[in-house]
Amino acid sequence: MKKESSAGAIVFYQKGSKREYLLLNYLGGHWDFPKGHMELHENPIKTTLREIKEETDLDVKILRGFERKITYSFKHRNEFIIKDVIFYLAQAKTQRIRLSSEHKGYVWLPYEKALELITFNKEVLKDAERFLRKKFAYGFTLLEILIVVVMILILFSITAQIFKPLTYLKKTRDVKRIADLKALEIALNTYLTVTSSPNLGPTNKGIDEASSTIFISIPFDKEDIRNQTLVWNAKTYYFSQASSTEFFKNDGQGWLPVNISLLPYQPLFAYPYDPINSYQNKLFYSYVFKRASSTFEINANLEYENFKYQGNEDKVSTDGGDNQNILEMGNDKSLMPNNLY
């Protein structure tokens, strides 16, 4: 196992109330911030300033009080690498860019459009925007603050009678579930397309094999159901779970047992999991595969009433699967036992 360290910055340009962020288009096709490896005897800030100058020719000022660190892992030439990246906030003096050969394009965008375009590190951008909004916010008097607070309380007391906050939380979680399953479906179909000998799961654990297995997103050290079985259409199914330190990994050791980490361009750097992730509450992601046909199915249970069967925005009976109560995705939506949830 090898550990690497990099540093970079969320570069922005501010003129009056207008603020735009710099995104670079890397040769691999993704959009991200300027960043690079820390060289010997460099500290993260020195690395950041050097990389920005080399990649964009910009002179910037590092803002105090903002520092975010992310850690992720990947495999390169059969070596497992853990990488730390430290991000700072850097204010540019100009928007004139001289791009290095490491990139094929750049763009300055306001926050909302930058958030849509950036491939990774969306949370880092969100944190930066929150920090800058506070930094560049205009001051308010105590009286103005009190007036605003009173107005918010009045509005909240009115709207709370009309809207149900819990309903919106359920809808928000379901929107994530739908997006997660679609991302998983795309990732697995990409894997099947570009891999000459794809392996959708461990030996004997396909539903057409000796130990038909359902892989679920709940870590076993949170809620262990590996000793349980499920019977559907006179067939017994077993359960597989990963640990809380492994379940998100995309190298075949996570909850979903397909190794997409070796793909030239990984469609997912980590496997998503249900926002609640509870077997007792029947809120988790599940996966089964059939080796002979190289097919798979991924399921999730939804909470929001309008997304459920016969709801105003029914998502479960319109997904092309054989279970009208569950969200189903994959290239064969008839594989999962219908009594799982």
**Rounded Cα distance, 169 and 85, in Å:** 32
Q: What is the pLDDT of residues 26-43, one digit of tens each?
A: 998 999 999 999 998 899
Per-residue model confidence (pLDDT) at position 165: 74
pTM of the predicted protein model: 0.55
Q: What is the pLDDT of residues 218-277, one digit of tens each?
A: 999 999 999 999 999 999 999 999 999 999 999 999 999 999 998 888 889 999 999 999
Q: Are 258 and 191 in contact (CB under 8 A)?
A: yes
Q: What are phi and psi of 59, to 5 degrees?
A: -100, 125
Out of 3.40.50.970, 3.40.309.10, 3.90.180.10, 3.90.79.10, which CATH number does the structure's domain 2-135 have?
A: 3.90.79.10
Q: What is the pLDDT of residues 46-80, one digit of tens each?
A: 999 999 999 999 999 999 999 999 987 777 778 88
Instruction: Give me 193's structure tokens.
Output: 């397309």
Domain boundaries, the chain: 2-135, 168-330
Q: What is the pLDDT of residues 72-123, one digit of tens each?
A: 777 777 888 888 999 999 999 999 999 998 899 999 999 999 999 999 999 9
Alpha helices of the chain — where are they, by DSSP H?
44-56, 111-117, 122-135, 142-162, 165-194
Q: What is the pLDDT of residues 13-22, one digit of tens each?
A: 999 889 999 9
pLDDT band, very low/low/confident/very high, at 151 (cuts 50, 70, 90): confident
Per-residue model confidence (pLDDT) at position 145: 60
Q: Which residues sit opposite 18 in a β-bridge?
A: 15
Q: Are 222 and 248 in contact (CB under 8 A)?
A: no
